[in-house]
Amino acid sequence: MKNITLSADEKDIEDARKEAAAQNTTLNNLFRGWLKQYVRRHQSVAELKNFLDQGPYFTSKRKFTREEMNKR
């Protein structure tokens, strides 16, 4: 595991440590969890964009009117 150094307001760090303690964990563990969620969320978006780039799309030779687009 690699260490990183972050900078934040002392009050925010103190509050975050208190919140972590209330959840019976550490600030370090909370950050690791957040980092994993952040990466997964962005990987999911990238995977969706990749999927859409590979797939066929319906295209039209003309613009639809508002009424046509709202037709049910």
Question: Which has more pLDDT, 5 or 60?
Answer: 5
pLDDT of residue 53: 80
Distance CA 25, CA 5 (A): 19
| 0.75 surpassed by pTM | no
Instruction: Check if the beta carbon of residue 27 is closer than 8 Å to that of residue 17.
Output: yes
Interval 8-40: pLDDT, tens:
999 999 999 999 999 999 999 999 999 999 988
Looking up tokens 């990749």, which residue turns up?
Answer: 50
